[in-house]
Amino acid sequence: MFRRTDLDGFEVEAVSRNVARVSYATSLMKRGVLISTTEHVLSAFVGMGIDNAIVELDNLELPILDGSAQPFVELIRCAGIRKQRRPRTFLKVLRPLELREGNKFIGLYPADHYSVSYTIDFPHRLIGRESRTLELTNGHYIAEIASARTFGFLHEAEVMRQQGLIRGASEQNAIVLTRDGLVNPPLRYPDEFVRHKILDLIGDLALIGRRILANVVADRAGHAMHTALVSRLLRDQASWEEVTLAEQKDDDATTLVDPEHPSVPLQ
């Protein structure tokens, strides 16, 4: 949940019904109150196993920081994490669900764990076709995904700024590509581009409202398709069921804790 401290603590839940617009980022809106660029912090929560948190901010947009989820991971670590007694509830996908738009594709398939396979294809010599698969277990998110930065093309930046977008974008918070090169090397990974797409997807699927048990496959999808899949899944209630895995100790739900008052969760 997001809380606007500049608007008397108005709260906007991080759920599908509050999705406002999706273009270069995913935004939420409730009763005219906007929360923009939510995907990186939500991705960090999922990657860190956080189910219960309230994010307070005093403006409409989450900070981009370095363009990845790593700063949010570090902030979560600083805040502290506490296991809760209530077992975590999962949304288990029971049958395949697919969306297609031209050559773009995203699908959910039954599985006993959460994994993501993503493919991108950009006509740029530094990107081209990249694919990667990730299982959200055993710290793989932190080791492989959290520090992958968002990216953009220099020749598109001015048009987007004229539209009121990416006003805070800079070489410090994004990988900036020219038509045939890179403005601010080096890359953190040879395939940092597809890793960041996985980061975004995990954050967008957090809008389901609970962790999923499914294999997610995406090919040249983006925020709009990610969130469309969330909406489609939640409408098709025959395609999933809620389950708890109380017998798996490591899957206990967690919450943020105030380090100065460890017995009191951050609310």
Q: Determine the pLDDT at residue 160.
A: 54
Q: Determine the pLDDT at residue 21.
A: 77
pTM beyond 0.85: yes
140 is known as an active-site residue: no
Residues in the chain: 267
> Which candidate in 140, 223, 226, 261 is catalytic?
223
CA separation, residue 173 to residues 11, 63, 65, 152, 246 (Å): 27, 10, 6, 10, 40
3-state secondary structure of 206: helix
Q: Determine the pLDDT at residue 83.
A: 87
| b (16+ CB within 10 A) / e for 183-222 | eeeebebeebbbbbbbbbbbbbbbbbbebbbbbbbbbbbb
Distance CA 90, CA 66 (A): 31
Report the amino acid identity of residue 147.
S
Q: Determine the pLDDT at residue 254.
A: 43
80 backbone φψ class: left, alpha, beta (φ>0; ψ -120 to 50): left
pLDDT string in tens for the chain (267-residue length):
999 999 999 999 999 999 997 777 899 999 999 999 999 999 999 999 998 999 999 999 999 999 999 999 999 999 899 888 888 899 999 999 999 999 999 999 999 999 999 999 999 999 999 999 999 999 999 999 999 999 988 876 665 555 555 455 568 889 999 989 999 999 999 999 999 999 999 999 999 999 999 999 999 999 999 999 999 999 999 999 999 975 444 333 444 444 333 333 332
What are the structure tokens assigned to 124, written together? 């740029």
Strands 2-4 and 55-57: parallel
Q: How far is CA 69 from the centre of its chain?
A: 9
Report the amino acid identity of residue 5.
T
Rg (CA), the chain: 18
Strands 114-122 and 2-4: unpaired
CATH number, domain 2-256: 3.30.1700.10
Please give the backbone phi and psi of residue 218, each rounded to the nearest 5 degrees, phi first: -130, 140
Q: Determine the pLDDT at residue 30.
A: 97
